Amino acid sequence: MNLTIDTARLTRELETLATFSDAPQPAVTRIVFSEQDLRARVWLKQLYVEAGLDVREDAVGNTFARWRGTDPELPAVGTGSHTDAIPHSGRYDGTVGVLGGLEAIRALKRAGFQPRRSIELLMFTSEEPTRFGIGCLGSRLLSGSLTASAADCLKDSDGRTLDEVRAAAGFHGSLDSVRLDPGCYSAFVELHIEQGPLLERRNVPLGIVTAIAAPASLWVTIEGEGGHAGAVLMPDRRDAFLAAAEIALALEAAALSTGAIDSVATTGLCEVFPGVINGVPSRVRLGMDVRDIDPERRDGMLGKLKLACGDISRRRRVTARIEMINQDAPTTCAPAIVDVLAATCEKRGFAFDKMVSRAYHDSLFISRICPTSMLFIPCRSGFSHRPDEYSTPEAISQGTLVLADALAQLAC
């Protein structure tokens, strides 16, 4: 089969998708269900129709574009990713997996391939946690990892519920209807930029993912006592921010204490009240993210954080309350899918590394319902979630070619 990737077209489509943004180029801001997100969805659906795919959307906006196989009753082969983008990010995160997946299907069609199993391209709703505070919203619902009742409780920063926001965007129906049956897909492969520097450092063009780390996300709220910055004497202070600073450092220490390179912990949000230069902070809220591919190590870090919160609270005469947002289990990718990707790379003479995904993706949740793996391509300096995120057209094309070849094998 003579597979060719239309690199110029794929590059143009990535550039066009980047224009649906609330931030000036080269930055991209595309929050789920915003005007720009909805405009991008309309444009993408037009591309799917032009490619001869059957398109449907579910109640939360997950979009499915299916190339029907000769035996459509068989479980389909899935691919895809997301197109929402955090504020002031880049143009390649997620989008390479959606538009690359589309181009892989078009390449197979141009080559005259006819799949036995249907091939379905998915665009997942709200992989980023920007609007509702929880990542992989669409794939969580698809896999049953998030219940409809729990999703109903989600609100954005303006206090609007998920139901209100999705209805205003034109997505209706019960969230219970979103869940897919286990076995609906025989395999799923997600093409993605690495979002790290390892492939580039090693000068290896492709990464095959064997495991995906999962985060525990949490809020820590510290309550102290406010007062005038000049009038409250140092021995009398119950400064919530200084306690929060110690807690953030304790989280870092917990991650470093494991001695494992896959243990990472981040304090990404710090909200200080009242937030004035001449007032002692009385309340602080920290947003924290703890990840590992080993769930026991990850949960061990959380245990050390809880102990540190208790110690710091006593010493600084404050209270610290921990609220878990999610505590997801990591996943091991399906060896059979990993083997298909490896064999495809070897057949084409492409070097590859087997590697861990330290970022989590929709594939983490899709792995709950079908055999799954991911294919990584390098991104410059490992930069991601920032405007200078970049992957070369050649790297994107090569990843798309391997994806197309793997989809053909999986769909036979």
Q: How many CA atoms lie within 13 A of 153 on its CB side?
A: 6
Rounded CA-CA distance 126/140 in Å is 10
**pLDDT of res. 1:** 83
At 12, list the tokens: 């143009």
Residue 359 domain-assigned (yes or no) = yes
Residues 72 and 130 in one domain: yes
Q: What is the CATH number of the domain that holds 290?
A: 3.30.70.360
* Last residue in a domain, options 291, 306, 327: 327
Residues 375 and 241 in one domain: no
Rounded CA-CA distance 282/273 in Å is 6
Q: What is the CATH number of the domain that holds 206?
A: 3.40.630.10
Residues 375 and 249 in one domain: no
- Look up the domain containing 307 and give its range: 215-327
Residue 1 domain-assigned (yes or no) = no
Asked if residue 274 has a cis previous peptide bond (ω within 30° of 0), the answer is yes
Residue 165 domain-assigned (yes or no) = yes
Rounded CA-CA distance 58/184 in Å is 15
Residue 261 domain-assigned (yes or no) = yes
Q: Name the DSSP letter for residue 382.
A: G
Asked if residue 26 has a cis previous peptide bond (ω within 30° of 0), the answer is yes
Q: What end-to-end distance do the CA atoms of the chain give, in Å? A: 13
Residues 23 and 57 in one domain: yes
Residues 119 and 227 in one domain: no
Domain count for the chain, please give it. 2
- The helix (H) or strand (E) run that includes residue 364 is helix 362-366
* Rg of the chain taking only CA atoms, in angstroms: 23
Rounded CA-CA distance 29/89 in Å is 6
Residues 248 and 200 in one domain: no
Residue 160 domain-assigned (yes or no) = yes
Q: Could you tell me where the beta strands, DSSP code E, fall in 42-173?
A: 54-57, 63-67, 76-82, 85-89, 119-124
Residues 300 and 172 in one domain: no
Residues 89 and 19 in one domain: yes
Q: Determine phi and psi for 402, rounding to 5 degrees.
A: -65, -40
Residue 58 domain-assigned (yes or no) = yes
Residues 191 and 289 in one domain: no
Residues 253 and 268 in one domain: yes
Digit-by-digit pLDDT tens for the chain (412 residues) are 899 999 999 999 999 999 999 999 999 999 999 999 999 999 999 999 999 999 999 999 999 999 999 999 999 999 999 999 999 999 999 999 999 999 999 999 999 999 999 999 999 999 999 999 899 999 999 999 999 999 989 999 899 999 999 999 999 999 999 999 988 999 999 999 999 999 999 999 999 999 999 889 999 999 999 999 999 999 999 999 999 999 999 999 999 999 999 999 999 999 999 999 999 999 999 999 999 989 999 999 999 999 999 999 999 999 999 999 889 999 999 999 999 999 999 999 999 999 999 888 999 999 999 999 999 999 999 999 999 999 999 999 999 999 999 999 999 9
Residues 358 and 376 in one domain: yes
* Last residue in a domain, options 264, 294, 327: 327
Bridge partners of residue 217, in order along the sequence: 289, 326
* Last residue in a domain, options 327, 355, 380: 327
Residues 323 and 334 in one domain: no
pTM: 0.92
